[in-house]
Chains A and B, each alone.
Chain A
Amino acid sequence: MIKSLHARHHQLAQQERQVEFLSNGIFKSGKLQSFERKIGPIGFFPLKPSKIEIFQVNVGYMCNQVCKHCHVDAGPDRKEIMTRETMEQCLDVLERTKIKTLDITGGAPEMNPDFRYFVSEAHKRGAQEIIVRSNLTIIRANPKYYDLPEFFKENNVRVCSSLPFYSADKTDRQRGEGVFKDSIEALQQLNKVGYAKEGSGLILDLVYNPTGAFLPGDQKGLERDFKKELKDHFGVEFNSLFTITNIPISRFLDFLIESGNYEEYMEKLVNAFNPAAVAGVMCRNTVSIDWQGNLYDCDFNQMLGLKTEQKSGQHISTFDVAKLEDREIVINNHCFACTAGAGSSCQGATL
């Protein structure tokens, strides 16, 4: 298993270093136009929110996997874990604001000792939609997680799982040896309790992200391939496939630099800039909360330490929908990943 950038004391483990890297080089030299300069002429700078519909809570960076492309730099060595007290604050905000979707992510969110408390409380308090971003292998990692599929079902959780490919080779190269096999077993377990079965109302979505320095293909076409291959070979069913463009931060940024792909990848993102995708970027309807309760425009900004605009409030304790919906979204050149081609978000392509 590879180690996180943090464990290696890598320079890119420092958020400021990443922001510096993304702001300089080819963007500073003028070879590529910055994101700000790109969205300015089409009337989107400063970038403003639409309506907050997704409350995305990152309950900690600990994970049982160390994926090569991870934008969180998650891993077993990461000890940042949200406390129950902060979860309570999140639940209060959810109840008060009636934001439609609670989207729980990590790390492997299930590794937070209060994960089940958080989910069942949100369910009890009437959350309209609860999404858990599960890496799948956690379900097979330890007997204490074996009943997660039943737990998800009881709380009507929408499960959203990463599976970069329908074959072991590509999946394991990105996510680690044996990940594909465990993921398939976990998917079969989820199907067994009713996930993705017609009439069950239990939704299981998969997330595809390219296994290298290239952009995702057409979401519909890939979904068709995934459905056929997973059904034919493993009897696995799922609802939708979401394609996500790899964001050039953290471990994926490290990969781009180390493999000599950075400039070309950024150029690809900039050339694929689609003005029509700007209106649908997820930061316009999302607020991201970190393990300490700090607020961000998205999970990627969270990893770069770019908090929401100061005057809109930067902590869950001062969460104010009106102020947040009037904020200016913090942008940098990593944002090109969300506006390339058919657009990209945690809910897949946006166009």
Chain B
Amino acid sequence: MEHTYYNPEDLKKFGNIGEWEKNLADKFFTWYGDVFKEGDLTAREKSLIALAVAHTIQCPYCIDAYTQDSLEKGATEKAMMEAIHVAAAIRGGASLVHGVMMMNKAKKLSM
């Protein structure tokens, strides 16, 4: 485990970032806590968004945390997979929509 960049144990140490910059860390964690509170979006919906984003940014810590959190919030496995498809669709779509740019350029350059 010591020869990999990611260690699951490090997730539990997230709070330690405050050791070297307490003021900013405190602000971040307070804001973070508020973000996930029930609002117009339910806590479960927020958890599913977080899960989808986690897959977009491919953060193992976030995938670990929000898989668990989504289950705790009562999300079905199907809903969790649907959320990831949304992320994947936007990701894939974002590449493809740039195809128009490519087409514009190609058409301009071509006779």
Q: Which residues of A contact B (CB under 8 A)?
A: 165, 167, 169-170, 210, 212, 214-218, 221-222, 225, 271
Q: Are B71 and A221 in contact (CB under 8 A)?
A: no
On whether the beta carbons of A221 and B76 are closer than 8 Å, the reply is no
Q: Complex formed: what's the CA distance from A214 to B76 in Å?
A: 14
Determine the residue in chain A with the shortest Cβ distance to B67: A214
Please encode chain B, from 51 to 94, with 1 for each CB lying within 8 Å of some chain A CB and 0 for all others. Answer: 00000000000000000100111101100000000000000000
Cβ-defined contact, A210 with B71, below 8 A:
yes
A189: min CB distance to chain B, Å: 25
Bound state CA distance, A38 and B76, in angstroms? 34
Contact across chains for A217 and B76 when beta carbons are under 8 A apart:
no
- Chain A hits for B38, CB < 8 A: 218, 221
Contact A216 B72 (CB under 8 A): yes
Q: Size range of the interface on B? A: 10 to 19
> Which residues of chain B come closer than 8 Å to A212, judged between CB atoms?
71
Within 8 A of A (CB), among B9-64: 12, 38, 42-44
Decide if B43 touches A221 in the complex (CB within 8 Å): yes
Which applies to chain A's interface (DSSP): helix, strand, loop or mixed? Answer: loop
B76 touches A225 (CB 8 A): no
If A221-B38, A221-B43, A225-B44 touch, does A214 touch B74 (CB 8 Å cutoff)?
Answer: no
What's the least CB distance linking B109 to chain A, in Å? 54
List the interface of chain B (C-beta within 8 A of A): 12, 38, 42-44, 68, 71-74, 76-77
- List 18 additional contacts besides A221-B44, A271-B12; criterion CB under 8 Å: A165-B74, A167-B76, A169-B77, A170-B76, A210-B71, A210-B72, A214-B68, A214-B72, A216-B72, A217-B43, A217-B72, A217-B73, A217-B74, A218-B43, A221-B42, A221-B43, A221-B73, A222-B74
Give the complex CA separation of A214 and B65 in angstroms: 11
Complex Cα gap A225–B79 (Å): 14
A169 contacts B71, CB within 8 Å?
A: no
For the complex of A and B, the 6 pairs showing the least CB-CB separation, nearest first, are A217-B72, A217-B73, A214-B71, A222-B74, A214-B72, A214-B68
Q: B residues within 8 A CB of A221?
A: 38, 42-44, 73-74
Residues from chain A with Cβ under 8 Å of B73 in the complex: 217-218, 221
Nearest CB to that of A215 among chain B residues?
A: B72
5 A-B residue pairs with CB within 8 Å: A169-B77, A217-B44, A217-B72, A221-B74, A225-B44
A220 to chain B, nearest CB (A): 9
* Chain B residues, CB < 8 A from A225: 44, 74
Contacts of B12 in A (CB 8 A): 271
Cα-based distance from A215 to B68 in the complex (angstroms):
9
- Output the least CB separation between B78 and chain A (Å): 8
Chain B: CB-nearest residue to A267? B12
Residue numbers in B under 8 Å from A170 (CB-CB): 76
Question: How far does the Cβ of B49 sit from chain A's closest Cβ, in whole Å?
Answer: 16
* A222–B44 alpha-carbon span in the complex (Å): 9
A324 to B71, CA, bound (A): 40
Residue of A nearest to B68 (CB): A214
